[in-house]
Structure 1
Amino acid sequence: MIHNVKISQSYLFFLFIITFLSCKQSSKPDVSTIHLDVKIERFDQDLYAGKEKDLKQTDLLLQKKYGVFYDDYVHRMVGNFNYSNEEILSTLYKDQAYYDLNKEKDSVFSSLTPIEKDLTQTFKYIKYYYPKAEVPRFISFISGFAVQTPIGDNYMGIGLDMFLGKDSKFYMAIVESVPLYLSRRFTPTYIVPRVTETYAREELFREKDEDRSLLSKMIYNGKILYFMDQVLADEVPDSVKIGYTSKQLEWCKTFESDIWGYYLANDLLFETDYQKIQVFLSEGPFTPGLGEKNESAPKLGIWIGWQIVKKYMRENPTVTLQQLMTEKDMQKILQAAKYKPK
């Protein structure tokens, strides 16, 4: 009898844990009434399917179906305006590297349904906060590593050859132009976060030319990452949002107060000389001048900006996401954040 009571108590505790976790996961708004179904058009497959067909017919079909994207692809991504569409297609189809890359891409992306599902959810959140935001036409392609997530006239491209997985043999072959600290992020997991970031930066919240100080750029980038927090699935880790390894993220957390102290001690917050501040904003294997044995994370200004914005939103719970994103006074955000890492 006592044994049964123990089982019942354990069961109740288990139910409590499930309920608690469910409550935690429901922090995002209910978007079930927003009708949206993102589909990715497979230009990569349609292009390859034309390999054995008449070039002129293939060219006409692709022009009709993909319009501006096809023109951009032929003349800006894989070719230029010195050659005709048919000449570029012919060169592409004869290239063994194109064949090999297409084969590898198909082995990784036989279906894009999981990505479509995640993009649908993310863009439902975006539409919740910004009902007038236009969902772009998504088109997948391969371009020989020319571009990853281009935005054009009413389309957004997804360069599948730049998401094949960090151990892809192709990335070792292009290491001189694309270093490993970048290609380690070329995995399917990064597709939705990178699409979301590009869309936010290019379509919703363009950086203003006059925002030239390190603080302005820190807060701008921090707002972009905070926006991503709100519209990406909870399962997307912070390391993927910002493009860190888990070790780099832990390094940032461990030395947060030291990083902030470095900016203050060197009067960097209001510095506008791009040569001086770009080291804290740019991609790289680490941040020169900070940390020992090159263990520091890169783009530390962006990470600190993210922490400031998160602290600002915690300290000011009545501020909405929309108000945050339109706030132009970066100093006001810093002061109201009461950011003093220990």
Structure 2
Amino acid sequence: MKPILLFLLVVMIAVSCKKDKALEHEIAKLKSDVQIERFDRLFAQVTANKLPDIKRAYPFMFSEKYPDSFWLAKTKDTLQIQLFNEVDKVFANIEDTEIEIESLFNHIKYYFPEFSPPRIITTTNDVDHRNRIIVTDTITVIALDSYLGSTHEFYGGIANFLKANLNKAQIVVDLANEYAKKYTYHPERKTLLDEMIYFGKLLYFKDVMVPFKTEAERIGYTEAQLNWAITNESYIWRFLVSRELLFSTDSKLPRRFINPAPFSKFYLEGVDADSPGRLGQYIGWQIVRAYMEQNDASLKDMLIKNTEDIFNNSKFKPRK
């Protein structure tokens, strides 16, 4: 009996892989044709004569409250020049990022046919890593100085858990996350479970839109952190359930299990220090995945479902 079951499992996996490849082939045909506009380079080389032209081409990049003299002085600032040079080193060639963004846009277009790819414009923003990508309907701005690599000297004053993902490979993941927020509807988030399901939706969106990225990259973990979460999934779930935290409205819970942090806060010696942060997001991700496996729901439908619908119909069981 066991060899027969194993054979059937192999066949199922093979069929599933074949379907996935066929789907990816169809998506690739959409050809979003992304062309990244290097405003960062244009601005670094601007002169008094060229400034009016660049302002006409990119009016949204220049605040009207500053005169031309301000922008010209900025290009001559020593720190700004160093910033431009470092960005130019890391992003001498941006073609790989362009290809990844094109794949992301192809996927969004497949699931949301009304989607129209925006202009992609790169800039620098004085390492304001909390606002490294801005997305509108027609324009997306990416601050490349927030993706120079986690060990870069510019990030010396940033906490390790925050700078861990300030690298080139995360650009398309962060961009996918911004689009996930645009397409995800969730009512007011009152309970810990509300927060978990909301972030689970964002992570599932990335499963679908950037399948070429690893699971660790999609959630922003190292492989070791992801393995810790997988290994301890059952323990995490039991902890949340046994302490009746899922439906709690305690405002401290997001800081313990949802928000970016060096570790999750179980307040247990020997557990906290080893754990990655945002484990509530991780469990929410697994709940949403379970819901999609158990139900004949489209991505669009799932993204607008409320917490109760997803949780009650997920039949979620943690890995042991």
Same fold (TM over 0.5): yes
CA distance in 2, matches of 1:221, 1:327: 13
- AA matched with 1:188: K
How many pairs does the alignment contain? 302
Contact 2:195 2:254 in 1 (8 A): no
| 1:16-35 superposed matches below 5 A | 23=18, 26=21, 28-29=23-24, 30-35=26-31
Among 64, 87, 97, the residue aligned to 2:69? 87
Residue aligning to 2:151: 167
Residue aligning to 1:182: 162
Q: Once the 2 structures are TM-superposed, how far is the Cα of residue 280 of structure 1 from its aligned partner?
A: 1.0
Q: Once the 2 structures are TM-superposed, how far is the Cα of residue 151 of structure 1 from its aligned partner?
A: 2.6
CA distance in 1, matches of 2:241, 2:219: 23
Q: Percent identity?
A: 30
Q: Once the 2 structures are TM-superposed, how far is the Cα of residue 293 of structure 1 from its aligned partner?
A: 5.9
Residue aligning to 2:285: 306
Residue aligning to 1:225: 203
1:60 aligns with 2:60: no
After superposing on structure 2, the runs of 4+ consecutive aligned residues of structure 1 that deviate more than 4 Å are: 19-22
Question: Which 10-residue stretch deviates more, 253-262 or 274-283?
Answer: 274-283
Q: Once the 2 structures are TM-superposed, how far is the Cα of residue 107 of structure 1 from its aligned partner?
A: 0.9
Contact 2:200 2:285 in 1 (8 A): yes
Which structure 1 residue ranges, 5 or more long, are not aligned? 1-18, 76-80
CA distance in 1, matches of 2:29, 2:278: 38
- Post-superposition Cα deviations, 1:265-306, rounded to whole Å, max 9, x if no partner, equal 221111223223332111011012255361111011100000
The RMSD of aligned alpha carbons is 2.2
1:144 aligns with 2:136: no
1:38 aligns with 2:15: no
| 1:101-250 superposed matches below 5 A | 101-146=83-128, 147-152=131-136, 154-172=138-156, 175=157, 178-201=158-181, 203-208=182-187, 210-234=188-212, 236-250=213-227
- Compute the TM-score of the two structures, normalised by the length of structure 1: 0.82
Which structure 2 residue ranges, 5 or more long, are not aligned? 1-13
CA distance in 2, matches of 1:44, 1:206: 34
- AA matched with 1:63: K
- AA matched with 1:112: I
Contact 2:109 2:115 in 1 (8 A): yes
- Post-superposition Cα deviations, 1:213-236, rounded to whole Å, max 9, x if no partner, equal 1111111110111111111133x1
Which structure is larger by alpha-carbon Rg, 1 or 2?
A: 1
Does the C-alpha gap of structure 1 residues 225 and 254 become closer, same or farther in structure 2, counting only changes over 3 Å? same
- Compute the TM-score of the two structures, normalised by the length of structure 2: 0.87
